[in-house]
Chain A
């Protein structure tokens, strides 16, 4: 099959782009139905309060207002998650949903909100996770503020023993703020009832998960709910929740009209999902020769008012410390804490950017203390293809799904060393100037490195259906949502080569529970790997059935025939026998279809992606401003299915994460619990002006388990960025920042404290 690839590995145009450049593509907020009403949400002005009553009379009396939903409506008690109902009589953060209105237009709905009379009983509140752990702290949920009631403990060997063996132990605390994914498209949901059947169009990252959540919350049989996902204006891990959709559904049922709810940008920032802020205490023990003897990581994460995907994020924050470096003794203690702050959830990289920021800055600190070059220290210590030393403890037949803790399990592929070597070469690490020779005296330059390991790839069970029709057109039905990352493009390429048709002949059916097969949500960088495997398997099955048809048609043995680029070949003739569509036209039925379900992963190997990033920065000592001049991102994500979209993915991920490193922070006022800067202007995401010169390198290890050798790529580009930049800053001005983002105030304050010394000056 390998020599016959005509789609995989090529930069074919991104699926669906033509409709997006013309404006034809309709996103959720572009969908309109006859008689549709517009909904708005009333949000709590209190960080923590009991809702005593909601008087809706004045709002309902306003002409053009058709429905009001409050926590006192019994159906609003439907459960969306163990700690969240559709509406609640307890508001848990400033911005928590309190009530909703549906009216003829948006401005009427807004007016009606102001006529709702809500009686609140304010309660004591917590915005700081450390404070929220005090025994006397305000209780945000019945089970207490420590999620799960106990720390997450992951351990290999004994850190006490490791520290005892160490020649040097360094400890430091690192802080990563909360910031917002802020996808450009705000959340939206449109609900329509047909009798007892409900159709919901929504911004979604998984229509099947949304359907089961919504059916459960609304008390409906799953078959009577259909969820449709129009094109998504990006998710970055967000948009996996359904509260807005459930509210739209209940308003719609009350009003007996379709209802659309569009979030405002401010609501997106305050009531969307943010990255968990983290306080990470890291201690590392090393021998004088550079060997790492112990890594001890204590992480405190703020999940805000609701749990969302917190436990998964907390676990991902451990990955780097547990596995990036060879070390027999590691310990991770993770605390996930409720506060009366915006809800943290999934955001690209989950906890890994936080964890890697601490780890990779700390590694530089340790290397310096030992007098070892940061790159050489990493080359000495990074985990190799064999994985961590030690004995496997998990059962031998079990698929290695999450990042394991114990040693003794090799990687399916591991190109980390080559990432470090080739990235270093590209940034000219070893030839970089030993001092800081710069023209204007107020400017300093420096270079930094950081690496990462990322458990993407295998996800839950995944299904794909591939069909060929008499016309020769092929349809791929997949549950994977195109969130903008290019999933449909790579799955189409895989279908084409696994079946032998042309890329242009494949249509994707997706994003609708009525037509698409079950798939896990598009998260954790699983689309290419898991759905890819299901797609390849289904397409190969279909190829088998088509070979039967062709064999009869051409009176040739099945194994002498193959398909390529939509043509049928005999292995005994140089020219094609026919077009695949000719075979399709002879099919006994209208179409042939094959379905495959896979449980991705293997009991024998860990499937991980790797990267090494290198940043060159310039610091302005006058203004505290930091510019990233040059950036090299070297990635092992296995075989690259589409180089163009993959490069775009890496470049975008790096630039997005530069926001975390340098500019973005969502600030909640401790005094009032109000989130203060929920706007694009004040939550300063990177624009085009600061976009650096960026070079992407793919170390194409062909992974033996991945579809066509591919591994995950979506999230890793965001993971090492902050550390690479912060390490470069140290190189430039000799200041080691332990708190993100490194804004001019932090640079100037640090410069005022320690007069700058060009670090590598003689």
Chain B
């Protein structure tokens, strides 16, 4: 066992967050979650376990949903990150966010950003998901209020709204 250095190693890292290029000085041991929440104050991404077991920290990394608590900030260098704050394109809500409100797809709301990110990734890839697709895509997100039934309805309703909006 070694003792930790008093001054942690740091490096500059450049990444795109919600469409905006950012260059920051990051400690090597920072997770992407830490960078987002602490350095950029994007606190919509939640920390529920810090071990990649609950999904509340889910963000998109180069379009794929990942647990930001289990990715080092430096590993995200050069990549594109989308967080819950970057889901809506304008000042309004994204159809998934609207559907989560209309279908009451939440209770305490702590897991909600993570679920929306997983749903967002799914609907970009598959505009017409089945219920089984939704369950599979959200299987890495835990909701301790167990609002799963409403969440499934919310994602299916969002998919429908997005298809209708697109046509």
Q: A residues touching B (Cβ–Cβ < 8 Å)?
A: 11, 13-14, 16-18, 20-27, 29-30, 32, 62-63, 107, 111, 181-186, 231-234, 236, 262, 264-265, 483-486, 644-645, 648-649, 651-656, 679-681, 685-689, 691, 694
Contacts and interface: CB of A to CB of B under 8 A. Distances in A.
A100 to B, nearest CB: 19
Given A688-B143, A688-B151, 11 more contacts: A16-B109, A20-B112, A21-B109, A22-B93, A23-B113, A107-B8, A183-B108, A184-B142, A262-B47, A687-B139, A688-B141
Interface string B10-33: 000000000000000001010000
B139 A13 contact: no
B44 A22 contact: yes
B156 to A, nearest CB: 13
Nearest to A236: B144
B144 A648 contact: no
B43 A30 contact: yes
Interface stretch (B72-80, B81-89, B122-130, B159-167): B81-89
B111 interface: yes
**Minimum-distance CB pairs A-B, first 3:** A23-B44, A484-B108, A20-B109
A21 B116 contact: yes
A687 B97 CA distance: 21
Contacts of A24: 44
Nearest to B41: A32
A691 B145 CA distance: 12
Given A22-B88, A23-B83, A26-B43, A656 B108 contact: no
B163 to A, nearest CB: 20
Nearest to A115: B3
B107 A691 contact: no
B60 interface: no
B144 A183 contact: yes
Nearest to B146: A655
B107 A184 contact: no
B146 A184 contact: no
B144 A651 contact: no
Contacts of A655: 146, 148-149
Given A17-B100, A655-B148, A111 B4 contact: yes
A681 B116 CA distance: 21
18 contacts: A17-B106, A20-B109, A21-B112, A22-B88, A23-B45, A183-B108, A184-B110, A186-B47, A233-B109, A234-B110, A236-B144, A264-B50, A485-B107, A652-B147, A655-B148, A656-B146, A686-B146, A688-B151
Contacts of B43: 23, 26, 30
Nearest to B84: A23
A680 B142 contact: yes
A210 B145 CA distance: 24
B66 interface: no
Nearest to B113: A23
Given A685-B144, A694-B149, A680 B97 contact: no
Contact of A18 (B4, B44, B101, B146): B101
Nearest to B96: A21
A688 B101 contact: no
A680 B51 contact: yes
A4 B61 CA distance: 52
- State which size class the interface on B falls in: 35 or more
A651 B110 contact: no
B56 interface: yes
A16 B110 CA distance: 12
A478 B112 CA distance: 25
A387 B109 CA distance: 39
Contacts of B35: none
A691 B54 contact: no
Contacts of B37: 30
Given A653-B146, A688-B138, A184 B152 contact: no
A648 B85 contact: no
Contacts of A651: 146-150
B101 to A, nearest CB: 5
A14 B104 contact: yes
A43 to B, nearest CB: 16
B41 A483 contact: no
A107 B9 CA distance: 13
B41 to A, nearest CB: 7
Contacts of A13: 101-102, 104
Nearest to B151: A688
A656 B84 contact: no
A95 B167 CA distance: 57
Contact of A21 (B41, B93, B107, B149): B93
B51 A14 contact: no
A21 B106 contact: yes
A184 B110 CA distance: 7
Nearest to A269: B49
B62 interface: no
A746 B116 CA distance: 37
B82 to A, nearest CB: 12
Contact of A184 (B56, B138, B148): B56
Nearest to B53: A680
Contacts of B143: 184, 652, 688
Contacts of B151: 688
Contacts of B83: 23
B48 A185 contact: yes
Contact of B107 (A652, A688, A689): A652
A27 B110 CA distance: 8
Contacts of A685: 142, 144
A26 B113 CA distance: 12
Contact of B49 (A17, A645, A679): A679
B47 to A, nearest CB: 7
Q: Which of B37, B139, B148, B150 has the most CB of A within 10 A?
A: B148
A648 B110 contact: no
A184 B108 contact: yes
A18 B84 CA distance: 13
Contacts of B142: 184, 680, 685, 687
A156 B111 CA distance: 46
Contacts of B27: 107
A234 B107 contact: yes
Contacts of A23: 42-45, 83-85, 113
A697 B93 CA distance: 33
A111 B1 CA distance: 13
Nearest to A652: B146
A652 B44 CA distance: 23
B144 A184 contact: yes
A231 B50 CA distance: 20
B140 to A, nearest CB: 9
A17 B109 contact: yes
Given A26-B43, A62-B6, A655-B148, A185 B50 contact: no
Given A21-B97, A680-B53, A681-B53, A688 B139 contact: yes
A644 B107 contact: no
Contacts of B150: 648, 651
A233 B50 contact: no
Contacts of A186: 47-48
A671 to B, nearest CB: 25
Q: Which of B46, B51, B108, B151 has the most CB of A within 10 A?
A: B108
B109 A25 contact: yes
A184 B54 contact: yes
